[in-house]
Chains A and B, each alone.
Chain A
Amino acid sequence: MKEEYKLITIILKSGLITWLLLLAVWSFGAMFYTDDFLPGPFVTLKGMAGLISDGTLEKDIMFSLIRVLKGWILGLLFAVPAGLCVGYFKPAGYVLEPFLNFFRFIPAIGFITLFLLWFGVGESSKVSLIFYAVIFPVMVNTIAGVKSVDYSLIEAAQSMGAGRSKVFFTVIVPSAVPNIFTGVRLGLSGAIICIVAAEMLAASEGIGYLIYTSRLYYRTDWIFTGIFTLGIIGLLADKLLRLLGKRFLYRFGVR
């Protein structure tokens, strides 16, 4: 009895029920429509198998992933130090905060055409778009992290002889890690959202491209495949990130 109860809690907590329910509703709904309009799970799976067997899906995933990673990492390299400086050094804040507060309300998608014009249809326009999408959540969270540092820690460091730069590196940065990490995660999801939009408009490969062009062939199952792939990539990437965070940043308070 107790063992069964345990099993039920495990199943409940795993989220399996949600997925089964979704699958059931989807299958049920698909019975009433043609495969062109709403393909069922089985049809989608078949379409996916087709895409995998001819290597299209793998290629699209790779392209999208590489763009996301490039833009995301470049964004982090810029936004984390910038956020730390804006948060800690007041003059840097005066210069950068107005810029930040203006541009962070303009979604990256709004810049697609402009970036295409400036950087061409190649990789650089997409990477810069992701860079743009990533820097704002990362900077805003990093700044928040700096501003929320327990002031008594700063005073403690000072009382033991730490000057301004020592305080920055030994108190501010480590204390801001949990917030920075939240920014990093948000940045990644922003990057994935953004790349799909960019690939829909101007690309000849990638998941966004797959979703957008499938409509030309009436392959709704491919659209579904693309959508699912996105969800799974996002889920896995975030899971991996959290795992790494917990493993390596636990002492800083990342959970």
Chain B
Amino acid sequence: MYLEMKHISKSFGNFKVSDDVSFGIERGKLVALLGPSGSGKTTILRILAGLEHQDEGDIYIGGKLMNGVSVKDRGIGFVFQNYALFPYLTVHDNIAYGMKLRKKSKHEIQSKVSELLELVGLPGLGSRFPAQLSGGQRQRVAFARALATEPQVLLLDEPFAAIDAKVRKELRHWLKDMIEQVGITSVFVTHDQEEAVEVADELIITNEGCVEQVGTPIDIYKNPQTSFVAQFIGESVILDDYAYEKLRGFQRQEGAPSAAIRPEFVKVIAAGQEPEFPSIYMNGVIRHKEFRGRYTELTVQIGDIELKAEQQIDEGNMKKGDAVKVMVSRLFAFDSKQAYNLVNLGLKNENIYYI
């Protein structure tokens, strides 16, 4: 592992913001620290940078112990949430800042700055001041500035939080491409699942100062291992008190009374239609219908259970109050700690995986 956090703990007063955090990151990977607000993800990033100091635990970068190394000597590039560009310096001087500290020659600085401006797609804007740039452009300058000192690791704190939705999407792709091109090991913090899944090679899910799960986006999406991850990832409906055993094709998982069911696990067809596996379908009624643009969100009631399902626009036109047949292909049952991936038994027996 190129970058390693081992048993990192930190408290602010009595409040434990990091609780025995351990993970490793391979060289050249782009990793997202994903968690809700207050889950301690930014603190982890700041400890990694040396902007905060852990009470316990060790940090290694490139095999070297970084515990006593101050932020200025740690060889990291940091992109701040609010960009933190020096407002009194031009774009050129902002990017050149770190190189000037390293007493690089004028010529070297000049060519590196031009190269970086080219890289981030802002050639010719070197003489502007940050106030004369758009949010997206400032973010790009902040990125260029962080790379100018050729750091070993790039750390980004909610890099897209302050940018409007449309530009954010563009910038995500851009960042991913850019980091791939530069090949730098990078960690970014986000609370936005979509962003994390889209950009990162690997996710580190944090909650209440702990690391819940580490894995690729697909892995975490398919196999949540803790109750937190099962509920946090995706837009699940949560059922309590073993209510899920009333759904056809599921049995009680002893000790796991709750279940998270994502819309994509729920299949809804018109009452008149004949499904492939009739035995696992239940009769339900459409309670709500909400148009969401690319799809329609249906709320269906089966007995006393309400589930959410997504319907593509070309999948027929069901109305509120219509009788329907409903099937749940899988769900995540969980207790207070662990999550279990349950597949509908009717599908399992047929050896068919329905998603």
Contacts and interface: CB of A to CB of B under 8 A. Distances in A.
B101 to A, nearest CB: 5
Contacts, number: 66
Interface stretch (A3-11, A45-53, A159-167, A188-196): A159-167
B149 interface: yes
Interface stretch (B70-78, B243-251, B280-288, B295-303): B70-78
Contacts of A153: 84, 86
A251 interface: yes
B101 A162 contact: yes
B129 interface: yes
A161 B102 contact: yes
Contacts of A201: none
Interface string A163-182: 10010001100110100000
B145 A160 contact: yes
Contacts of A36: none
A177 B87 CA distance: 12
A150 interface: yes
Contacts of A253: 87-88
Contact of B71 (A150, A152, A158, A170): A158
Contacts of A150: 82, 84
Contacts of B148: 160
Contacts of A177: 88
B84 A156 contact: yes
Contacts of B149: 160-161
Given A175-B88, A177-B88, A252-B88, A162 B80 contact: no
Given A159-B51, A159-B77, A161-B149, A152 B86 contact: no
If over half of A's interface residues share one DSSP class (helix, strand or loop), that class is named, otherwise mixed; here it is helix
Contact of A170 (B76, B81, B97): B97
Interface in A23-51: none
A182 B171 CA distance: 39
Nearest to A249: B88
Contacts of B146: 159-160
A160 B97 contact: yes
Contacts of A58: none
Q: Which of A159, A161, A251 has the most CB of B within 10 A?
A: A159
Please classify how large the interface on chain A is, using the bins under 10, 10 to 19, 20 to 34, 35 or more. Answer: 20 to 34
Contacts of B78: 155-156, 159
A253 B86 CA distance: 11
Contact of B72 (A152, A161, A171, A251): A161
A162 B72 contact: yes
Contacts of A166: 101
B33 interface: no
A157 interface: yes
A161 B97 CA distance: 9
Given A161-B101, A170-B97, A156 B80 contact: yes
Interface in A216-255: 251-253
A252 B81 CA distance: 22
Interface of B: 49, 51, 70-73, 76-78, 80-82, 84-89, 97-98, 101-102, 129, 145-146, 148-149
14 contacts: A150-B82, A153-B86, A155-B51, A155-B84, A156-B80, A157-B97, A158-B72, A159-B72, A160-B77, A160-B146, A161-B98, A170-B97, A251-B89, A253-B87
Given A158-B72, A166-B101, 10 more contacts: A152-B81, A152-B84, A158-B70, A158-B71, A159-B71, A159-B77, A160-B101, A162-B101, A171-B86, A253-B87
